[in-house]
Amino acid sequence: MGILSSAVSITRYRVEGKIEGPVIETVLKGLKKNAIPEIDEEAESKAAGWTSFENPFHPNFDGSSFVFGNLFVFALRIDRKSIPAKLLKKHLTVETSKRLAKTGRRFLSKDEKQALKDKVVNDLAIRIPSTPNVYDLIWNYEASSLWFYSNLRSANEEIETLFRRSFNLGLLRLFPYTAADTTAGLSDAERDVLIGLSPTHFSD
Amino acid sequence: MLDLVVAYNRYRFLGDEFLTWLWYTIENDPSVLKSADPDCQSLEVGNRIVFENRKTKSVERITIKGDEAGLEEGRLALRKGALVSEIALIFKTGEYIWQFSLKGESLNVSNLKTPGPSLPQSPEQMDDFILEKTGQVDKILQFLEKIFSSFIRSRVSSKWMSKIAPSIKKWIVSIEAS
C-alpha cells in the first residue's frame, strides 16, 4: 500500500538532526549511493535500497524528481528471492546422486553435504527472479517528520538502518513513549512524572 | 531518552490507556476533540475494536467487528480489566470523512482512507495530487498528535488520579448498570 492506494498504513518518524550543506544535493547523493541494486541473475537472495516513487522498477532521481513542493517523496524497495523447499530438495537430491556416482562412495560427509547445499542454493538463486516490495515515504525536511507507508516491522527496521547510512540522520519511531517525550510539549518535571508512570487500573 | 526497545515495551500500556480514554472522551467529553481540531464535527468508533486484558496470566484478546456489531462484549471486557488496544475511527468535518484504525502499542495508523483526491490522470497532475493527499493525511495525523498530547498532559497531571481515572471508572460501572 503506497501513496496512490485508497487505504494506507503509516508509521510516523521524527527525523533527528539536520543536513550540513546543500540539502537537496546531499539527499540526491544519498539516494543514488544507496539505490536498490539489481540482484536478478546474481547469487544474492536479498537487496534493499531507495527507488523512485513514480518509477520504482527503474530508479532515477535526476532532475529533483523526488522533490514535490517542500517534500521529499521516494520509496524503499526490498527485493527477496525465495527458493521453494521442494525445489531445493529436488535439486539437492539430484546433485547428491551425481556426486556419489562420480566418487563411487555411498555417503557424503557432513561438510560435503553443507558445501553441496550451499552450491545448489547459490545456483538456484541466480536462476530465480527476486520479488520486489515497494514502500513509499514522505519526508518533510523542514518539519523533521517522515511518514513511512508501512507498519511492517521488517520494513521499518530496514528503513531505519538505510536512512542513517544514506543521510547520516537518525529516525525516531513515534510510539507512545517517544511521542509523549518529544511531541507533547512536556516540561522537564512532567517528563520525570512520565518516566515513573505505571498502568492505571480502571476495574476493581 | 530511554533505550527504545525498553521504552516501547515498558510504556505500551500508555497507548492502550490512550485508546480507552479516547473512547470515554468520544462518549462523554467531545469538546476535547474539537479543541484538537476545530473542524472536527464528530469522531465515531468504527466497525472494529480490539480489547486486550493483560491482568490475566496470558493475554486475553477480544475483537468486535462488523458494521452492526454491538459493543456490549467490549464493555464487559472493560469491566474485567481489559483496555482498548486497537480501534477503528471515523473522523467527520462538515463535508468530509476520514476513516482509519489506530493501534495502541505503536500508535500506528492503518487502513487510512481520506476523502480524496482522485488519482492523477497524467504525470503533470502528480505534484498537485501529492500535495493535496499529503494535506489530507496531515490533517488526521495532526489531530492524533494533538489529542494524544492532550491525553499525555492529563496523564502526567495530578488530575489523572484525582479526577479523570475515577470518571473513567465511573463510566465503566455505568455501562454495567445501563
Distance from CA of B172 to the nearest CA of A (A): 8
Q: Does A52 touch chain B (CB under 8 A)?
A: no
pTM: 0.91
> b/e for A146-161, b at 16 or more Cβ within 10 A?
bbbbbbeeebbebbbe
Q: Computed from CA positions of residues A48, A52, A55, A58, in that sequence, does the dihedral angle turn out positive or negative?
A: negative
Q: A202 and B168: CB-CB below 8 Å?
A: yes
Q: Is the pLDDT confidence value at B57 over 80?
A: no
Q: B156 and A197: CB-CB below 8 Å?
A: yes
Residue B138 and residue B162: Cα distance in Å, rounded? Answer: 34
Q: Computed from CA positions of residues B75, B13, B16, B21, in that sequence, does the dihedral angle turn out positive or negative?
A: positive
Residue A84 and residue A172: Cα distance in Å, rounded? Answer: 36
Q: Does A4 touch chain B (CB under 8 A)?
A: yes
CB atoms near residue B146 (< 10 Å): 17
Q: To which H or E segment does residue B31 belong? A: helix B31-36
Instruction: Using an 8 Å CB-CB cutoff, list chain A residues near B14.
Output: 176-177, 180, 197
Which one of B85, B134, B142 would you mutate to disrupt binding with A, by most A Cβ within 10 Å of its Cβ? B134
Residue A47 and residue A78: Cα distance in Å, rounded? Answer: 6
Instruction: Using an 8 Å CB-CB cutoff, list chain B residues near A138.
Output: 130, 134
Q: Does B48 touch chain A (CB under 8 A)?
A: no
Q: Mean pLDDT, to the nearest integer, of B49-65?
A: 87
CA A47 to chain centre: 9
Distance from CA of A82 to the nearest CA of B (A): 27
Instruction: Using an 8 Å CB-CB cutoff, list chain B residues near A203.
Output: 78-81, 169, 172
Q: Is the pLDDT confidence value at B177 over 60?
A: no
**How does residue B178 score in pLDDT terms, banded at 50, 70 and 90?**
low
- Give percent above pLDDT 90 in chain A: 89
Q: Does B126 touch chain A (CB under 8 A)?
A: yes
> Which positions 67-106 of B are in contact with A (Cβ < 8 Å)?
78-81, 83, 103-106
**CA B17 vs CA A154, A159, A178, A197, B25: distances in Å:** 27, 29, 16, 12, 12
Closest CA to B140 of A7, A187, A136: A7
Q: B152 and A7: CB-CB below 8 Å?
A: no
**How does residue B134 score in pLDDT terms, banded at 50, 70 and 90?**
very high
Q: Are B51 and B85 in contact (CB under 8 A)?
A: yes
Lowest mean pLDDT among A4-18, B55-69, B87-101: B55-69
Point out which residues pair with A75 in neighbouring strands.
Answer: A51, A136
Q: Does A151 touch chain B (CB under 8 A)?
A: yes
Residues 6+ apart with CB under 8 A from A111: none
Model confidence pLDDT, tens digit, residues A21-74: 999 999 999 999 999 999 988 888 899 999 999 999 999 998 889 999 999 999
Model confidence pLDDT, tens digit, residues B102-128: 999 999 999 999 998 999 998 889 999
Nearest to B107 among A71, A73, A179 (CB): A179
Q: Are A184 and A167 in contact (CB under 8 A)?
A: no
Q: Does B24 touch chain A (CB under 8 A)?
A: no
